[in-house]
Structures are given as structure tokens and as C-alpha cells.
Structure 1
Amino acid sequence: MTSQPPPPTPPPAEPPAHPGPEAVPTCFRHPDRETYVRCQRCERPICPDCMRDAAVGHQCVECVREGNRAVRPAQAVFGGAAVAAPRVTWTLLVINVLAYAAEFVQPAQVLRQFEMWSFGVYQGEWWRLITSAFLHAPPPSLWHIVFNMWALYAIGPELERRLGSVRFATLYLLAALGGSVGIYLFGQEAVGASGAIYGLFGALFVVARRLGYDARGVLWLIGINVVLTFVVANISWQGHLGGLVTGTLVAAAFAYAPSRNRTVVQFGAAAAILLVLVLLVMLLPPTAYPGLPAITG
């Protein structure tokens, strides 16, 4: 019986090769950082500093930026940037309160220089047409400013979100001017934001109708306040009605402007209303002072 030769000895195992640098994925923006996470859109490796949360997984900074370019910015219902916080409303509230605080310090001087006075406007003191809309019945009376600021707080934010901040500010200031022009033409002197507030009432009615909401509640609100205007003493019906008419017209221009060239139509109409108000003051004398010439000097 012959013996079998022993089996050949296997060659020694070679040590595993160390992976080269190219085998370890690194962030495409930071090559010195290893990462095994890839962008869900471009599939490039990204490190934690370059990751941005997405609906599924993560995306890189470049893909997020590119995606934002393709997304149209949110808009208010009637144009303009969407309003997250009604900053114009809060600003108007602050200005009115600060002006009232100034009346506590020097009520006579503040009112004498800045209240709405028809003859003063006729003589060229045009600033009264706007400054008077930020003043109220002097201290210790509080009901005037409390009512107006409560109304601004209650309906201002909703209108600002619907119209956008710029359009809302335009509406408010034009309604305030319209109230002052009403006082100029048919009254003598007054103070208060009531013209602007009544303009917001009219705008709220227009916006509700345009959006298909039930506007009967707003109509009742306007009706009750108009009745109070003629029933309660020491209320300027000229300022209330002037602001109501102006605010309603401005809101109608904003709400019913065609989608094509909407911004041009809206602000063109606002400019036209402003021009009419200015011309009324320039070409007509206040009726409370008979005998004045038809055109101011």
C-alpha cells in the first residue's frame, strides 16, 4: 500500500487592502468631511451642516435654494405680499396712542397746531388734513380714542391680511383724507380717526361682498354708526361720511380690479381718488366761511 503525498500547503492569506481616499464619500461642499447621507434631489453627498430637512429625507443647500426660486411667493387675496403679522395696523395704533399722550402734555398747543380747521387749510395749512386724523377729543375724555382704536384693532388685521399691508395703508390714509376733506367742505373743525375708521367699515363691506360672504352684519354695523353720527351730539357727520365714501371707493378699486395689470389698475385708481380730493380742497372754499373766493390763494 503506497503512501499518498501530503496536500500542498495553501499560500498565506494576503492582508486586506486599505480603501483609498476615493472609497470614502465626502461632502461635495466640504471635501474634508466624511458622510454617507445624500441629497434627495441631486444625490450628492452632504454633511450635517449642508443638510436641509425636506418632505422626504434631506436636501442640499443648492437644491433648496433652486426649489425656492420655482415657488411663487404667497400673496394676499387682492395682490401684494402675504401678511403674517398686521404690522401696519399695530403701527397706526401706536401712532394714535402716542399722539393722544402728547395731548396729555400740551393739549391746547397740539390741537391748535394739528387739528382739522377748515379756515387753516384754506390758508395753506395742508398738514391738518392728515394730522387731525391721529388726534382725538382731549383728556380727560377717553371714549373717543377708545372706540376708534377698538374698531381699528377689531377689523384692521383682517382687512390688512386680505388687502396686503401697502394697500391697507393706502386705504386707511385716503379714508382719513376723505374725512378731512368732508370737514373742510361742509364743517369747521374736528379731530379723530373716525373718518378712517368709517372708511374701514365701507371697505369691510366691499371685501365681504367680493369674496361672497354674508355682508348683512357689516351693513347693520354701518347703518347703526351712521344713525349715531346724526343722533349723538358733537360728532362730525362730515368727517364720518367723507371717510365712509372714500374708503368704499378705494376698497372697490382694490377688490374689483382685473387680475391682468391688477397692481397698475389698483394704484392708478387710488392716485385718481387722491387727485380728486386734492382738487376739491384747491378749487372749492369751505362753506362754513361764506364769502371766500372759489380758489384758495
Structure 2
Amino acid sequence: MDPESAVTTCYRHPAVESHVRCARCERYICPDCMREAAVGHQCPECVREGARSVRQARTAFGGRITAVPLVTYVLIGLNVLAYVGELVRPAIVDRFEMLGAGLVGSDGGHYVWQDTYPSDFHAVGVVDGEWYRLLTSAFLHLPPTEGTFGILHIVMNMVSLWNIGRVVEAQLGRLRYVVLYLLSALGGSVLVLLIAPGDPTLGASGAIFGLGAAYYVMARRLGADMAAVNRFMAGLLLWLLISAGLTSWQGHLGGLLAGAVVTLAYAYAPRDSRRALVQAGACAVLLVVLLVSAWAKVAELTGAQ
């Protein structure tokens, strides 16, 4: 048989005659397998291989570039769902708000903590092993008819989360943003535990203050015009002072400090192959410091050796 008269077929579809070769591997491909390339056509396998070899774009802080603030949407959704849960079952607040140490009497009433208490009392809070309160409290807010703000508590926090969160998420990428948010929330709860363990607190404010600190650190690192940023921070710090008489300033300050530490690690880690490791290491160290501080405080409150 004359070789030139032989019928050539697609390597993926042997029953389909083909006369076009992949520009990369030179195998024959049919119209269904052709993928447009800079020059000619490529087969699906070569297209996938080429996509794997292309370096993904990153932000200045090492995160993947994202156009949709998905994590911010999810966080707002979780807060709103938790709030609906509070409205349906108000007991959720007592069960999951931040409380370092408290007592519940036989009458069901709540009492100030003391390390020795009658046998018909029982401890509640982190001192009773309820460590989850350190994070769950960051997703709860004041019921509509309680506290200074009522329903405005969640409304103001969610508006702030939307305005600041989507900016921070776009710069950090989703994973770094989640870590920042959770460590800021944890930092706020731990400072409450250290300074005011008997005060029940709740709200996303600690995490949002952490995002505010991140916004400032990132702007400085990127060389942005600091005039508007400084005005924003001045307002944030002013609210921190005002909140000392209205809400948990300890939670706000703890979140602010934790957020600043995390973002400093993000912003000033070396821009080479070590960057992710340094950033993760700094976050891990902060997590250990927070947990050890919380454990030491619980040991102090309970008189454990």
C-alpha cells in the first residue's frame, strides 16, 4: 500500500478521519479535539499540560487573585444564619457566647465566678471546657431588644465586614483571609478571657477590627496614599475608645492586635519560595501563644497546678 494514501485518524477517536496535527505533539486530531492555540491547534492533553506549566498570578502578599469576594459572602451568610437561629432559639446565645468563667445556681440563675462554690452550683464557660466559645461567639450578635444597639449590632458589623472584608480578601486571597479573620476573632476572645473572664461577650467586632488593622498594614506596604487610610484608622481607634463604655473593648483591641500581627507576617515575609512557610509559621506561632495564654488563664481561675 502506498503510505501516502493511508487514511489518518484522530488519536482519541480512531474511527474519525483526520488530517490536522496537534501543533505541540504532532498527533492527528479531529475537529472535536481541536483547541485553538497561538499557532495552529492543540489536542486536549497538550492544552492541559500547558495550563499546568503556566505560573498562576499572585497578589503582592502571595494569595491567589480572586475577582469575587466569596469568603466575605460566606462569613456574612454565617453571621446572618446564626442570628436567625438566635431569634428562633434564644438559648443559643447563652450556650455559645464568649464567657470565660461563670456559675449557674440550682435556681438556673447566673452568678459571678469564684474558684470555690457550693456543690449545687456548676461552672460554665471556658473554665468548664467550653473552648468553642472562643470562636462561636464571633458569629453571634445581640438580640433585637437587648443591649445598647439591639439589631443595629449585627447590621453595623455586617456593613463593616462587607466594606472592609472584600478589599482585604482581594489582596490576601481566600485562604490567608480566612486565617486572618479567625485568628483576629480568637485574639479578641482571648483578651476578653485574660482581662474580663466573667463578662459575657459576642459579636464579629473583634474579627472586623483585625481586618481594619490588615487594611492599614497592607496600605503601608503597598505605598498607597495614606490620607484616607489614616482617617479610616482614626475613626476605628475612636470607636475603640468609645466602645470602652458601650461594648467589649477587650475584644476589639485583641482582634486589632492579632490582625496586625498576622498581616505584618503576610506583608513582610520574604518574596521567594520561603514566603508561604514564613507566613504559615507566624500564624502558627500566634495561634500557640493565644491558646497557651488562654490555658494559663483557665488554670489560674480554676486553681489548677
Which amino acid counterpart does residue 202 of structure 1 have in structure 2?
A: A
Once the two structures are superposed, the pairs formed by residues 141-152 of structure 1 within 5 Å of their partners are: 141-152=150-161
Partner of 1:255: 267
Q: Secondary structure at the residue paired with 1:122?
A: helix
- Indicate the RMSD between aligned Cα atoms, in angstroms: 2.5
Deviations 1:161-217 (A, max 9, x none): 322212111110000011111211223221100000000000111111111212332
Partner of 1:15: none
The 1:285/1:215 distance shift into structure 2, 3 A limit, reads farther
The 1:20/1:178 distance shift into structure 2, 3 A limit, reads closer
The 1:68/1:295 distance shift into structure 2, 3 A limit, reads farther
Which amino acid counterpart does residue 182 of structure 2 have in structure 1?
A: L
Please tell me whether residue 132 in structure 1 is matched to residue 137 in structure 2.
yes
Which amino acid counterpart does residue 126 of structure 2 have in structure 1?
A: V
Q: Tell me whether 78-87 or 65-74 shows the greater mean CA deviation.
A: 78-87
Which amino acid counterpart does residue 271 of structure 2 have in structure 1?
A: S
Q: How many residues are treated as equivalent by the alignment?
A: 274
Please tell me whether residue 173 in structure 1 is matched to residue 182 in structure 2.
yes
Once the two structures are superposed, the pairs formed by residues 39-54 of structure 1 within 5 Å of their partners are: 39-54=22-37
| Cα displacement (A) at 1:295 | 5.5
Q: 167, 186, 189: which one pairs with 1:158?
A: 167
Checking the alignment, whether the CA contact within 8 Å between 1:89 and 1:160 is kept in structure 2 is yes
Partner of 2:280: 267
Partner of 1:16: none
- CA distance in 2 between counterparts of 1:258 and 1:294 reads 43
Partner of 2:195: 186
| Cα displacement (A) at 1:250 | 0.6
| Cα displacement (A) at 1:242 | 0.8
Checking the alignment, whether the CA contact within 8 Å between 2:63 and 2:171 is kept in structure 1 is no
Q: 85, 89, 113: which one pairs with 2:68?
A: 85
Checking the alignment, whether the CA contact within 8 Å between 1:283 and 1:294 is kept in structure 2 is no
Q: 264, 276, 289: which one pairs with 1:276?
A: 289
- CA distance in 2 between counterparts of 1:64 and 1:200 reads 39
Partner of 2:107: none
| Cα displacement (A) at 1:84 | 4.3
Deviations 1:30-88 (A, max 9, x none): 34323343333344432111101223432122321332232123334322444343332
The 1:296/1:214 distance shift into structure 2, 3 A limit, reads farther
- CA distance in 1 between counterparts of 2:304 and 2:59 reads 41
TM-score, normalization: structure 2?
0.81
Partner of 2:246: 234
TM-score, normalization: structure 1?
0.83
| Cα displacement (A) at 1:220 | 1.8
Partner of 1:118: 100
| Cα displacement (A) at 1:20 | 8.2
Checking the alignment, whether the CA contact within 8 Å between 1:41 and 1:63 is kept in structure 2 is yes
| Cα displacement (A) at 1:267 | 1.1
Q: Tell me whether 272-281 or 241-250 shows the greater mean CA deviation.
A: 272-281
Partner of 1:245: 257
Which amino acid counterpart does residue 99 of structure 2 have in structure 1?
A: W
What percent of counterpart residues are identical?
Answer: 51
| Cα displacement (A) at 1:121 | 2.0
Checking the alignment, whether the CA contact within 8 Å between 2:72 and 2:165 is kept in structure 1 is yes
Query: Structure 1 unaligned runs (5+)?
Result: 1-18, 287-291
Checking the alignment, whether the CA contact within 8 Å between 2:34 and 2:42 is kept in structure 1 is yes
- CA distance in 2 between counterparts of 1:61 and 1:50 reads 6
